[in-house]
Structure 1
Amino acid sequence: MLALIPVSRLMAGNIADPIKWILTKECTLKVNGSTNINKFSCIIPEYARPDTLLFYRKKNEPLQLSGSLSLDVQNFDCHNPVMTSDLRKTLKAKIYPRIIIHFLNLSKYPDPDIKEGVLKGAVTIELAGTTKRFEVDYRYITLANGNLRLIGTKQVNFSDFNISPPRKLGGMIKTNNELVVEFLLTMKLNTQ
C-alpha cells in the first residue's frame, strides 16, 4: 500500500526525484508491555509484501517519506496462546485486521558512509479504527550488502487508540496502558 505525494507538489517545486527503497521480508513489528505480574513481548515476525518507501530530498527541510507498512494483526505471536488471543481480541482483529504504519518524514537521509547513526521521524499508526501521529526515534545501520536497516521505537498507550488494556481473572491481572512499539525495517535500494 503506497501513498504517493501528489504530482502537483512534485511539479511545483524543488522536490527531486525520489530515492526508492524496497522493504524486504526481514521487516518485523514488536510490542513490549507488562501486567501487574509479568512482562510480555509480542511480535509479527516477518513482512511478506514487497512495498516501497520513497525518500524525497528537499534542501533545508526534513526528508519527506511516502509509503507504508500494512501488517496483519492475526500474525502477532506472544509466545503464549492465551496472551496471543487476548492481544488479537484487544486490538479488535476481526473488525480491524490490519495495523498500518504510514511513514511521513525523517530528520535527514541516512548517510551510507556511516555504519550506524540516529534519526528522528514522524509516522501515523492506524490501529483498531484510530489513526494517530507519533514522533519516532530511529537507529539506522548500513549493512555489508548495502541494505539499510531502520529500527524505530516509540512508547504508545492502549488509550491512544481508544482501547482498554486487557484484564483477566475478574480484574486481578491488569495489563498496563503503556506499550513500547519497535518496528524494524530492512530495505534494499531500488536501482531501476
Structure 2
Amino acid sequence: MSKIRIATNLLSKPFLLLFSFLWPTLSFKNAASDADKWILTKQCTLKVNGSTNINKFSCVIPEYTQPDTLLFYKANKNEPIKITGSMALDVQKFDCKNAIMTNDLRKTLKAKVYPKIIIRFLNLSRYPVYSFKECLINGAVTIEIAGIVKRFEIDYSYTMTEDKALRLIGTKRVNFSDFNIAPPKKLGGMIKTNNELNVEFMLNIKTLDD
C-alpha cells in the first residue's frame, strides 16, 4: 500500500504543477467571458489646447486608425466598472494648423524616441446607460507621454449615437512638467509656452458582437 501511495504522489505532482500554471489562464478566460466588449472606431480623436505668452493654440490628432478592443467588466452596484484596454496615438499625426507649431509640439513630445501617446483605460464610476441626452460620468486612466506614465481622474460627458455607438468625451488639465517635459520657447525665450495643457479625447466605441 505504501508503494502505491508513493507512486500516486509522484504522479500527482506534475498534474498539480500543470494545473497551477493553467489556473490563472482559466480564471482570466472566465473573467473575460463576463465582460462586455467594445471596439474603438476610427472616429476617435485627441485634442490638446494650450497657450503662450502671446497667443493660444490647438493641436489635434484627427482620427484613430487602429480598432482596439476595450473590455468592460461587470461589477456590483455602486462599484466602479473595471476596464482593460488602451489606445496608442501617433504623435507624428498631431496637426496644429501651423507648420512651425506642429513641428515644435512633435519635437517637444520627443516623437522620434517616443512615437506614441498611450492612454490606458482603468475604470468608470458606473456603466453608461443608453441615452440620447448628454450624461456625465468619471473614471481613471493612465496617460503615457515621452516614456512617463501618470494616472489621472477624468471627467466625461457621453451620449449614445443613432447607430448605437457610445460617444465619450473626456477632458483633463495636465502640465508639460507632469511628464518631465520643458515647455517650448522661441526667439531666445521671448515666446514662452505655458506649462498647462487642456487635453480632450473623444472616444467613439461600439459593442463587439461575439
What TM-score range do you get, normalising by the shorter chain?
over 0.9
Q: Which amino acid aligns with 1:27?
A: C
Q: Structure 1-normalised TM-score?
A: 0.92
**Corresponding residue of 1:136:** 154
Corresponding position: 1:49 with 2:66: yes
Q: Secondary structure at the match of 1:54?
A: strand
Q: CA deviation at 1:17?
A: 0.8
Shift of 1:129: 1.1
Counterparts of residues 1-192 of structure 1 (less than 5 Å) = 7=25, 10=28, 17-60=34-77, 61-113=79-131, 115-192=133-210
Listed as ranges, the gaps of 5+ residues in structure 1 are 1-5
Scaled by the length of structure 2, the TM-score of the pair is 0.84
More strand by share: 1
Structure number having the greater helix percentage: 2
Mapped contact 1:25–1:49 kept (Cα < 8 A): yes
Q: 2-side partners of 1:29 and 1:8: how far apart? A: 36
Contact 2:132 2:161 in 1 (8 A): no
Number of paired residues? 186
Q: Match for residue 3 of structure 1?
A: none
Identity of aligned residues (%): 65
Q: Which residues of structure 2 form unaligned runs of 5+?
A: 1-23
Secondary structure of the structure 2 residue equivalent to 1:94: coil
Partners of 1:83 and 1:71 lie apart in 2 by: 19
* Pair member with larger Rg: 2
Q: Distance in 2 between matches of 1:45 and 1:166?
A: 23
